[in-house]
């Protein structure tokens, strides 16, 4: 179809749509975590035990909440895009290990795995021209 072949001219618009959608999603997940306070951060931070980290759960939980909340905002505007993709990918890898460690299997971890793969791919693609980091 000739109409669909012209869509490749709008790659940057596609990247913007992806950035906005993912950014809103991660703000939605991260903000309640961030405002949940120390007990919530501690609970989230205990997820690092599934990758062998057993110290400072409050710090790790707070960092995960900050990464998801502010990382989502930075995704939307396209600022420090690649470092944010790395941090979100790492956060999601830990989330996937947490689901697997809790016995939820692949079906429990699939959302985190999918998002980690998206951020890994976006790391190579970049934010597109409709971003603060445009090149």
User: Which residue ranges of the chain lie beneath pLDDT 70?
Assistant: 1-2, 135
Give a yes or no: residue 3 inside a domain.
no
Q: What is the pLDDT of residue 7?
A: 83
Is 39 part of any domain? yes
Per-residue pLDDT, 135: 61
pLDDT of residue 126: 94
Question: Quick one: pLDDT at residue 134?
Answer: 72
Residue 132 belongs to some domain of the structure: no
Residue 5 domain flag: no
Q: With helix as H, strand as E and coil as C, how does the chain read? A: CHHHHHHHHHHHHHHHHHHHHHHHHHHHHHHHHHHCHHHHHHHHHHHHHHHCCCCCHHHHHHHHHHHHHHHHHHHHHCCCHHHHHHHHHHHHHHHHHHHHHCCCHHHHHHHHHHHHHHHHHHHHHCCCCCCCCCC
Query: Residue 15 falls within a domain, yes or no?
Result: yes
Range of the domain at 72: 11-125
Question: For residue 2, is it within any domain?
Answer: no
pLDDT at residue 111, rounded to an integer: 96
Q: pLDDT at position 68, please?
A: 97
Residue pLDDT, tens place only, 38-62: 999 999 999 999 999 999 999 999 9
User: How many domains are there within the chain?
Assistant: 1
Question: Is 108 contained in some domain?
Answer: yes
Instruction: Give residue 5's pLDDT.
Output: 83
Residue 134 domain-assigned (yes or no): no
């Amino acid at each position: 179809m000739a109409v669909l072949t012209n869509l490749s001219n709008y790659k940057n618009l596609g990247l913007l749509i992806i950035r906005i959608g993912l950014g809103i999603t991660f703000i939605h997940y991260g903000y309640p975590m961030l405002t949940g306070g120390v007990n919530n951060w501690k609970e989230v931070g205990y997820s690092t035990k599934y990758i062998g980290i057993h110290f400072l759960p409050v710090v790790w939980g707070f960092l995960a909440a900050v990464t998801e909340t502010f990382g989502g905002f930075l995704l939307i505007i396209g600022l420090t895009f690649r470092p944010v993709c790395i941090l979100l990918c790492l956060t999601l890898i830990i989330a996937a290990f947490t689901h697997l460690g809790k016995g939820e299997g692949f079906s429990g971890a699939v959302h985190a795995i999918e998002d980690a793969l998206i951020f890994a791919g976006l790391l190579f693609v970049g934010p597109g021209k409709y971003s603060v980091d445009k090149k």
